Amino acid sequence: MKKVILTLNIILIGILATAQEVSIKNLNQAKIEFETEIIDYGTIEQNANGIREFKFTNVGNAPLIISNVQKSCGCTVPTWPKEPIKPGKSSTIKVKYATDRIGIINKSVTIISNAERGSIVLRIKGKVITPQTTPLAQEKGK
């Protein structure tokens, strides 16, 4: 009987120690929160402004460090802050899409950081169309 009680006590102490470690670790961690994880360009004309921004806030208790941003193709160019983002502060990740390509936009950018969610996939979507041109004769008639 003493062995059973001793074994149960050891198990209980182990569980409590592990639970305490997890809660302490979570208290001192960066946490990134985006206003949106998907940006819809809608329908835009070829060679239109392809720059969009993903705004985020560090809602954690430690500085947020973005170590890398990976793009899904060469037509997407991300720019991100290289300095740590303090708790409670906000910043942006800019994404420039090459709008010289006509067709559907469905690309992703993966954010790698020290945040609670180590990697986050952001998406851009939309459609690039040929610029609308008005014949010269119609313009003169206006």
Radius of gyration over alpha carbons of the chain, in Å? 25
Would 60 be classed as within a structural domain? yes
Q: Does 73 score more than 80 pLDDT?
A: yes
- CATH number, residue 74: 2.60.40.10
What pairs with residue 106 in β-bridges? 125
Residue 98 within any structural domain of the chain: yes
Q: What is the pLDDT of residue 118?
A: 87
**pLDDT tens-digit readout, 85-139:** 999 999 999 999 999 999 999 999 999 999 998 899 999 999 999 998 766 555 5
**Per-residue pLDDT reduced to its tens digit, 38-50:** 999 999 999 999 9
Residue 51 belongs to domain spanning = 31-129
Q: How confident is the model at residue 135, as a pLDDT?
A: 62
Question: Does residue 17 have a pLDDT over 80?
Answer: no
pLDDT of residue 2: 67
CB 46 within 8 A of CB 93: no
pLDDT at 13 over 90: no
DSSP state of 64: B
Nearest residue to 86 via CA among 26, 25, 30: 30
Q: How far, in Å, CA of 82 to CA of 33, rounded?
A: 17
- pLDDT, the chain, mean: 86
Number of domains in the chain: 1
Give the residue with greater pLDDT, 51 vs 12.
51
